[in-house]
């Protein structure tokens, strides 16, 4: 029951928080060496890794009494975090702005 509450917390609070933070950074144009293409690449890589970890941990079917159960829960949690990163990079693709200038200044 506790693991269900933690996973629900992860999907409802942690994933949107990570996605919002990455999307906000992309909206501000940070990091400077990232562009839309880099956010796209990061999205694909993080989504693939997240899907692999989530599916692999789901198919482990480890017993609660073994050390493999801790590994299963840890892999699932890491997959959830990577899912949040992938969601943030997807938002970054849409919201990325390069070379934001301050209004009212002449250059």
pLDDT for 98: 67
Mean pLDDT of 42-53: 96
Residue 101 has pLDDT above 90, yes or no: no
Mean pLDDT to the nearest integer, 34-47: 92
Q: Do the Cβ atoms of 77 and 11 come closer than 8 Å?
A: no
Residue 91 in tokens? 């938002």
pLDDT, residue 62, reads: 84
Q: Averaged over 65-75, what is the pLDDT?
A: 90
| Amino acid 51: pLDDT | 96
Per-residue pLDDT band for 79 (boundaries 50, 70, 90) equals very high
Q: How far is CA 29 from the centre of its chain?
A: 18
73 vs 99: CA distance, rounded Å: 42
Two tokens, residue 98 = 């390069």
Domain chopping of the chain, boundaries = 11-95
Place of tokens 């060496």: 33
79, 54 in Cβ contact below 8 A? yes
Q: What is the dihedral of CA 30, 75, 10, 58, to 10 degrees?
A: 130
Q: Which token pair is 11?
A: 């999907």
């Amino acid at each position: 029951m506790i693991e269900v509450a933690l996973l629900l917390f992860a999907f409802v609070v942690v994933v949107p928080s990570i996605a919002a933070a990455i999307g906000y950074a992309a909206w501000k144009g940070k990091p400077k060496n990232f562009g839309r293409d880099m956010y796209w690449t990061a999205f694909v890589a993080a989504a693939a890794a997240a899907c692999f970890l989530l599916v692999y941990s789901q198919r482990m079917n480890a017993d609660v009494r073994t050390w493999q159960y801790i590994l299963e829960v840890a892999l699932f949690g890491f997959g959830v975090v990577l899912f949040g990163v992938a969601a943030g990079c997807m938002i970054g693709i849409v919201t990325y702005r390069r070379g934001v200038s301050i209004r009212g200044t002449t250059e």
